[in-house]
Amino acid sequence: MKFWFFFVFVLLFVLAFKGYISRGVFQATASKTCQLWYTLFSISTLIVGVITSVNTFPKGLIGFSTGQNLVIALMMSVIICELILGLFFIGDDLVLFFKWIGEKKSNASENNINTNSRRRFFKTTGLVLSSLPFASFLYGITKGKYNFKVFEQTLTFSDLPKGFDGFKIVQFSDLHSGGFDSYEDVKRGFDLIQAQQADLILFTGDLVNDLAEEILPYIDLLKKLHAPFGKYSVLGNHDYSEDDGIFPDETSKKKNFIAIQQYQEDAGFQMLNNANKKIKKDNAFIRLLGVENWGNSFIKEGDLDKAIENCDDDEFSILMSHDPTHWEEVVLKHSKHIHLTLSGHTHGAQMGIESLGIKWSPIQYFYKYWAGLYQELNQYLYVNRGFGFMAFAGRIGIAPEITVFTLKTK
């Protein structure tokens, strides 16, 4: 039982029901609209609380099936919209309170006219504003989660071997295959990866949510990806399947971990688990490095020292590391100069704003580097926004990403 989930949602239920009852303090009979919304809020929060408190489903996001994920996403959208509307109902309650005071001090009929006008304003504005995020959530859990976007980055380096001028790399990350509910939409995303005609394809972790078998419906799509200089991958935190209660024993958990890696190798990906590989072209090479997951709040199996064994200091190096906190805490402080680090993990929170010069997501309050390109100490980090989705079965304002890097020499 996930008791903390249950506690939070039961608390919301109590607060919502209390708000519904409190209207009787200022008005003998609450309006039907308010009664309806408060009732919906109470019921939906209670249902979500019950669903999320149970951890007995065989697979899916955080132990849930795809259908249950969709229900939870819908519930989340209703709850958020109800919270927005609730703020305006609080304003309506305040109006009622001041109306009660006003009736004691002034002409009641005149006060009623002004008060009723203000109340209509509160309700109308609340309904309009709450409908906007609800429409966004509906789009996000139907179309938005498969609205794949190609992000192109041209990076110029003074020490890039000339043979690699114009070399093209495609990165995708955070597949989370257990959450998908449309093979055709996923196929369209993989076709878009292949359409970039990259020299090298890199996957930066989180193949599944928990179970190795989640990738089986899509293993053929991984196999069809092709690049002349190969396909490489690393592990993400979810590939270690750390959620409690999924496996009966450590032996089953270890078999699952091995299977996750084996499926990638069967699909033609070479895993770089704290290892490196020379990518050779025109009598020159660049060094591709890969580490297991290393994150401030997650598994710390990544070993950069092991990954750079037999590497010279002056080699042009690209590192695959799932969690961007690894770049901040380890890579930037390391004596080995790594030109470009490719990460994922954050998903950009799957919701935010990236338009009209605005770049915002709630994830930025937890991760300093959360989406896109960053540069410090003459080293680059790119954080991919993820191909799939997790926990919230949708995307709002943060598109699922396929990144194309073109390397250039000065």
Q: Measured between alpha carbons, how far is 218 from 61 in angstroms, rounded to an integer?
A: 17
Q: Does domain 148-409 fall into CATH 3.60.21.10?
A: yes
> Within a 13 Å sphere around the CA of 6, how many CA atoms are in the beta-carbon half?
8
**Look-up: residue for tokens 């890199």?**
202
The model's pLDDT over 347-390, given as tens digits with 9 standing for 90+, comes to 999 999 998 889 999 999 999 999 999 999 999 999 999 999 98
- From the CB of residue 388, how many other CB atoms can be counted at a distance below 10 Å? 27
**Can you give the residue ranges of every domain in the chain?**
3-142, 148-409
Angstrom CA distances, 298 to 124, 240, 323, stand at: 45, 10, 9
Instruction: Please give the backbone phi and psi of residue 299, each rounded to the nearest 5 degrees, phi first.
Output: -60, 135
Could you tell me if 388 and 181 are in contact, meaning their C-beta atoms sit under 8 angstroms apart? Answer: no
Residues contacting 159, CB < 8 A, separation 6+: 314, 316, 339
CB burial of 116-155 (b: ≥16 within 10 Å; e: otherwise) equals eeebeebbeebeeebeebbebbbebbeebbbebeebebeb
pTM: 0.79
According to DSSP, the residues that pair with 202 across neighbouring strands are 171, 232
> What pLDDT is attached to residue 28?
39
Structure tokens at 306: 């092991």
Per-residue pLDDT of the chain (410 residues; tens, 9 = 90+): 344 455 555 555 545 544 444 444 444 344 555 555 556 655 655 565 555 444 433 343 334 445 555 555 666 666 666 566 555 555 555 555 566 566 655 554 444 545 555 556 655 665 565 566 667 777 888 899 999 999 999 999 999 999 999 999 999 999 999 989 899 999 999 999 999 999 999 999 999 999 999 999 999 999 999 999 999 999 999 999 987 678 989 999 999 999 999 999 999 999 999 999 999 998 999 999 999 999 988 899 999 999 999 999 899 999 999 999 999 999 999 999 999 999 999 999 999 999 888 999 999 999 999 999 999 999 999 999 999 998 888 899 999 999 999 999 98
> What pLDDT is attached to residue 216?
97
The model's pLDDT over 295-311, given as tens digits with 9 standing for 90+, comes to 988 899 999 999 999 99
Could you tell me if 349 and 361 are in contact, meaning their C-beta atoms sit under 8 angstroms apart? Answer: yes
Using only C-alpha atoms, the chain has a radius of gyration, in whole angstroms, of 26
> What pLDDT is attached to residue 140?
85
* CA 186 and chain centroid, separation: 16
Residues contacting 408, CB < 8 A, separation 6+: 154, 155, 156, 157, 160, 165, 166
Q: Measured between alpha carbons, how far is 203 from 201 in angstroms, rounded to an integer?
A: 7
Average confidence score pLDDT of the chain: 81
> What pLDDT is attached to residue 408?
98
